[in-house]
Chains A and B, each alone.
Chain A
Amino acid sequence: MTLHDVPSEPSSARLPPGELRWAEGWARRLIEHAACKAPPALSARLAEEWLADLPARRGAIARLRFALGCCWASKVIAHELGAVLGATATSTAIRTGALYTSTGPSFDSRRSAVSFLIVSLHVLVIYGLAAGMARTVLESTPDRLQVSLPKAPARERTAPPVNPQLAPVDVQVAEQHWALEVPLEPVAVAEEGARTREFAAASLPPPVKRVLGGPGAGFPNTADYYPDASRRLGEKGSTLVQVCVDGSGRLTSNPTLAQSSGSARLDTSALRLARAGSGHYRATTEDGKPVSACYPLRVRFELKE
């Protein structure tokens, strides 16, 4: 009997109802495939035997496990019997015990050895990690890594090829001279009637000619305001009074003492003189026009011999 002569069960007895039918189909295909991998003298027998035992397993998972187990069983049987059984072997050989004449190590022993080797490797790795082997490896890593890179071959720099179709063109650029002329004229600024500051400023507006004012026509005589006591005592001095005068020569505010002469009498008389001169001041002019301005007025009290 060959594998294809295996009688099949009626569908009512072989296939369970419902969702287990797909598992039955897969299991049967796996079993037939596994039997084909067995020694030829046994493949038909094993296929019929396993297919007959398959319905005894209940449930889809159990049948699939059974079929997968048959795949493993066929490998074991082929390994143990393959060296003995040939294409001409018969079932008689099985009954006479001729199938187990192999003198090599058994498959189970080899499998046990492989399992022992795998377990030993795991134990060794775990022990190595626990004993700090990994830490030692990390500590032995050098702090600096020196990498030597091969030098790139020096490339010769050559001029790009000249396009023969382009004729050289002479470009002439006319030389131009740019001159920036900025008028730098000294500007005279009269301040306090004595100080003059000169500076050049190109961005400033045109200078203004300013002429400070002073005592004008009809201004009282200083001798008239010389205190009598000071004449008797021989006091003399110079008092500086700050006056503010409008364009008509009148005081716009009371004069103030800017610098004392050292004598209160002389200072008081100087302030009286400054107030009395209102309307007789010469106004300050800018470009000839009278303007209001404040300026110091020197009052000198001197005794003539």
Chain B
Amino acid sequence: MGDRGGNVRLSFQTLKVLEAFLEKPTGELSGADVHKRTEIASGTLYPILLRLECAGWFVSRWEDIDPASAGRPRRRLYRLTRDGLARTSEVFASFGRGVPA
């Protein structure tokens, strides 16, 4: 469970979400993009995203488009913070997996 100190209970689904972001650490992903990569159900995925955001691992923003001209609503995009990337690197390093630079 996340708290102000950034501690998050790292469940299997949470690790899968973090792994999806590690493919491009500086990139931004929407909830639909994370679902495509992890196949995690929406009932589990969105609480995890919000939990990581509250813990400071992620930041989010609205997609910078005009919904009328784009023909679709704007998406919520998530991105790893510097602290989140460091913590994610530590977690996966403990599992023996490297993090791309």
Contacts and interface: CB of A to CB of B under 8 A. Distances in A.
Nearest to B42: A69
Interface residues of A, number: 43
A80 B51 contact: yes
Contacts of A7: 67-68, 73-74
B73 A51 contact: yes
A53 B47 contact: no
A98 B56 CA distance: 10
Interface string B43-64: 1111100110111100100010
A100 B47 contact: no
A24 interface: no
A81 B54 CA distance: 10
B75 interface: yes
Contact of A97 (B36, B55, B74): B55
B94 interface: no
Interface in A216-266: none
Given A7-B73, A48-B73, A56 B36 contact: yes
B93 interface: no
A13 B71 contact: yes
Contacts of A10: 71
B43 A97 contact: no
Interface of B: 1-4, 6, 9, 11, 30-32, 35-36, 41-47, 50-51, 53-56, 59, 63, 67-68, 71-76
